[in-house]
């Protein structure tokens, strides 16, 4: 599927085309549920634009998702931490993904909000192709690429 994701301001956040399409397994929550609902029943050649407010996309921005944590609580941190780096943090409730927003000597401030949290998103989509899922994809619960054979796991 050819796609572009933009903020309400019009700034393109990410995109893909025929050479780098987005491929997903419909009905397995591999994409935003609200976006998947809009794609139900669509066919090759269909084009659509879908606008999702934060509540239907990646959620509202949560101030309580910003924390100061000891560097020793990071899972395999890079040797040099920098602002914007993506890290994994050990917490009482398990490992969570976060983005570094400030680096100190012993601690880092991290933001575990999704990068698109709090944003109204515009999805401009072109359905390039629709195919049946392979048995292996159904068993794994995700797509194995454009032809169903890539990324086996």
* pLDDT single digits (tens) 98-127: 999 999 999 999 999 999 999 999 999 988
pLDDT at 2: 74
Burial of 34 by CB count in 10 Å (0-12 exposed, 13-18 middle, 19+ buried)?
Answer: middle
Question: Do 55 and 124 reside in the same domain of the chain?
Answer: yes
pLDDT at 152: 44
pLDDT at 81 over 70: yes
Question: Do 123 and 52 reside in the same domain of the chain?
Answer: yes
Question: Do 78 and 96 reside in the same domain of the chain?
Answer: yes
Distances from the Cα of 4 to the Cαs of 12, 44, 91, 123, in angstroms?
7, 17, 34, 6
Question: Do 6 and 54 reside in the same domain of the chain?
Answer: yes
Contacts of 7 (CB under 8 A, 6+ apart): 13, 119, 120, 121, 122
Establish if 151 belongs to a structural domain: no
> Percent of the chain, pLDDT > 90?
52
pLDDT at 31: 83
Q: Print the domain residue range for 123.
A: 2-59+116-140
Question: Do 85 and 101 reside in the same domain of the chain?
Answer: yes
């Amino acid at each position: 599927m050819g796609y572009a994701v933009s903020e309400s301001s019009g700034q393109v956040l990410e995109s893909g085309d025929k050479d780098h399409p987005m491929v997903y397994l419909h009905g397995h929550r591999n994409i935003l549920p609200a976006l998947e609902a809009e794609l139900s029943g669509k066919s090759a050649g269909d084009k659509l634009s879908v606008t999702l407010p934060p509540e239907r996309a990646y959620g509202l921005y949560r101030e309580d998702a910003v924390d100061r944590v000891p560097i020793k609580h990071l899972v395999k941190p890079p040797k040099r931490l920098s602002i914007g780096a993506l890290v994994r943090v050990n917490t009482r409730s398990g490992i969570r993904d976060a983005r570094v927003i400030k680096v100190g000597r012993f601690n880092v401030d991290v933001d575990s909000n999704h990068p698109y949290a709090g944003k109204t998103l515009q999805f401009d989509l072109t359905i390039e192709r629709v195919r049946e899922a392979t048995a292996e994809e159904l068993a794994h619960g995700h797509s194995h690429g454009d032809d169903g054979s890539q990324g086996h796991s």
